[in-house]
Chain A
Amino acid sequence: MAEHTAPSTSPGPSSTRAPARRRVAPLLAPGLLWISVAYVVPGLLVVVYSFLTPKLGGGVVWEATLDSWDQIVAKGRRSTAGWGTVGAAVLRGAAAAAAVSVPAVAAARYLGRRISASLALAALLGALVAVNHLAAEYNNYTAVFARSVVWSALATIICIGLALPLAVFISSRRSPVTKNALLIAVMIPFWTSMLVRTYAIRFLFANTGPLNNLLETLGLDRIVFLNTRFAVILGLVYTALPFMILPLYAAAERVDRAQMEAARDLGARPPQVFADVFLPMVKPGLIVGGVMVFVLSVSQYLVPTLLGGGKTNMIANLLELQFGEAFNWPLGAAIAALFSVVTLVSLYATVGRRDQEQFL
């Protein structure tokens, strides 16, 4: 990524800030209290529960044990997982890195950038592929983790691809009326219960649904759509898309078109204008949208349940099993705790600290 100056967030003179901070402290109290009661305490409770003994019928017996963690870390290991898996993971990672580095280097050359950044990106991707393969093969829990992360990442990328042109299109409308109408069109799905919308997709794409009926009347074959990976990923994209469009729109609204014109006048090719001028300006929107879409998707329960039909499961389905029928709350708590770590690490690896400073 090109170096660019972030919008000024530099603090004012410290002498004026300190009293201001003290003055807002009472205003922060309710929010902080809410966060600690509603998030921190349950979060800690999840960790505590993961070290307790399961009780038949749900709940826990207050006897400390490492069983749940043992199950996730050691006991649950698949018999097929061994050094061969590690080798395969390394090979896959290397292959992915190599495959990506070719277009990445070409793009860097074209845009006149240093190649090392592209290589670093390819290496990161390769490492992720390797870790993902290891997780997918290690045991039942990590396999579901890996799948949830990959599908959510895919959904995020697809959402960016769909939302970016839309956001630019909406923000470039001159008339505020058109703009508002388009934004409302994006918002309307929010007004309907997600459950209803997901059932609507089910109905639409069912084997005997309107879409397949249409295919048949056109003389084409019916397509099995429901309960496939494709259906689940489409469901993730469908549910999360507005969360990508809105921040991207807000960012695109603020893009200074004069700068893009200046770049073009100075001889930059369109891809260069896009990569060097436009992208840095919408990056905060991309990051906010990306985080929201990823976090929403990775914890999805409705979509994999209704569109995956119990055949294509994500992390929430695994949790539901442990907290429901399996009567194993501690194992569920351990899975949830570990998965929080996985999500945080995934987010940190892709978004990182330096980037966050830009939109804070």
Chain B
Amino acid sequence: MTKSTRIAGARRLLLRLLAVLAVFAVVAAACGNDDDDTTADAPATQAPTAAATEAPAPTEAPVAEAPVSDRCGDPARLGNSINFLNWADYIDVGILEMFEEECGVSVTMDTHTANEEAVAKVDAGNSGYSLVIVTDYAVEIMSSQGLLQALDMGEIPNVANIDPNQMDPYYDPGNVYSLPYQYSTTGFAFDATAFDAPPTSYSAIFDENPLCGQSSLLEDQREVLGAALVYLGYDWNETSQAAHDEALEVVLDARDCVTGFDSANYIGNLAGGEVLAAQSWGFAAGIAYLTNPNIRYIIPDEGGTIWQDNFVIPADAPDPYTAHVLINYMLEPDIGALITEYTIGYTPNLLVPPLLSDDYHEVVSGAGLELTDEIRDRLVWQVRGEEHSIFADTWSQIIAAG
């Protein structure tokens, strides 16, 4: 069984895309001009690199037999199957197959594309999910509404592997309900060839946007307004009306210059040159870098956000024990490495970094994704409470404006 990391997968996808694009290019440029055909043969076929560590040898025994691996918890209590709700495109599905082979538990994964969606599914009750992955603030909302059950750390010995920096977060003090899965940041990604000097401030997209018509902001009220607020010198989580009035002006001005508010397509747009600068999630800049090595990522001087996705177990989970085992499994160093190679996020697992491949390190250093202490100091968590409904009010004015 060969594991495909995202790095290898993205390259293969790119080649296929380029082939399709080449056909279109031929049709479109029927007049005979081949100006930028150079891209077509640039990325040489790179063999999919095997994961840094060898996957544990799959057991030859039929699935029905008791698991042999010591990473599967107590076979007597382990279920046969589990339903898992994760962000779309956020894990190499090969990992779930490995878990099935190793432990005999078949994992059915559903995906969501917004925390709100995941919260709504669990809130509706009887969702059938025993394991869910949601972002920081959603953990707080879910736990405050009694939708989560406390984790039994006794069943998750690999909790010892987790970076203390990523533990005890604001949204779940003492990690009662959640454990970190991956984390990343929100900052600014750009094509280095489009700037004489790399930008260091949000002014590159707000006041003095040199790339009018070729830049984009996220479609996210908190990220966009937060960036405008810190640009104006306020706190990222500021809720005063006066500050929001100013931030609204900044965003409405920028609105004329950005191609759009886009969280869904900007990675491809950056990679393909459709936009040259974009407010971006860190891991997304890494993915764009795989296609376009000119992509760089920065946290502007004014600051950016840090966020973390987490394992949580719904209060009405059908099989909490198996969920604990699966969490522990994904906190194994070799599995953690496979996950991070795929997401291009940051791993909270201290044993993972030495196992990450050269390809991963190449992306992180090439795109400028290293998370130094100096950068960490500029990052804030986004807090969502009742008082933050003002962000929606301000944002609806932006929606109404066009």
Interface residues, chain A, CB within 8 Å of chain B? Answer: 54-59, 139-141, 143-144, 202, 206-208, 210-211, 213-214, 216-218, 224, 226-227, 229, 306, 308-313, 317-318, 321-328
Contact = CB atoms under 8 A, between A and B. Distances in A.
B242 interface: no
A224 to B, nearest CB: 6
Contacts of B221: 321, 325-326
A147 to B, nearest CB: 8
A327 B399 contact: no
A208 B31 contact: no
A144 B400 contact: yes
8 smallest CB-CB distances across A and B, nearest first, come from A309-B260, A310-B261, A326-B392, A140-B400, A210-B28, A57-B141, A227-B260, A217-B33
Contact of B262 (A55, A58, A309, A313): A309
A313 B399 CA distance: 6
A58 B399 contact: no
B400 A143 contact: yes
Interface stretch (B112-120, B168-176, B332-340): B112-120
Given A211-B28, A322-B392, 4 more contacts: A144-B399, A217-B28, A318-B396, A326-B391
A327 B273 contact: no
Contacts of B219: 310
Residue with the greatest number of chain A CB neighbours at <10 A, chosen from B117, B144, B400: B400
Contact of A207 (B220, B274, B389, B399): B274
B165 interface: no
Contacts of A311: 255, 258-261, 402
Given A140-B397, A213-B29, A56 B273 contact: no
Interface residues of B, number: 50
A140 B274 contact: no
26 contacts: A55-B145, A57-B119, A58-B123, A140-B397, A141-B400, A144-B399, A208-B274, A213-B29, A224-B213, A229-B402, A308-B260, A309-B216, A310-B219, A311-B261, A313-B400, A313-B402, A318-B399, A318-B400, A321-B392, A324-B117, A325-B114, A325-B116, A325-B222, A325-B392, A326-B389, A327-B389
A326 B213 CA distance: 28
Given A57-B141, A214-B28, A309 B399 contact: no
Contacts of B273: 208
A321 B399 contact: yes
Contacts of A324: 114, 116-117
Contacts of B123: 57-59
A312 B402 contact: yes
B400 A56 contact: no
A321 B389 CA distance: 12
B27 interface: yes
Interface in B377-402: 384-386, 389, 391-392, 395-397, 399-400, 402
A321 B114 CA distance: 12
Contacts of A56: 141, 144-145, 384-386
Contacts of A227: 259-260
A58 B392 contact: no
Contacts of A328: 389, 392
A168 B80 CA distance: 62
B214 interface: yes
Interface string B41-74: 0000000000000000000000000000000000
B28 A213 contact: yes
A180 to B, nearest CB: 29
Contacts of B258: 311
B198 interface: no
Given A57-B141, A57-B142, A311-B260, A321 B395 contact: yes
Contacts of A59: 120, 123
A79 to B, nearest CB: 11
Contacts of B138: 57
A58 B116 contact: yes
A213 B29 CA distance: 7
Contacts of A211: 28
B272 interface: yes
Contacts of A210: 24-25, 27-28
A210 B24 CA distance: 7
B395 A326 contact: yes
A214 B35 CA distance: 12
Nearest to A314: B399
Nearest to B266: A309
A154 B222 CA distance: 34
Interface string B230-260: 0000000000000000000000000100111
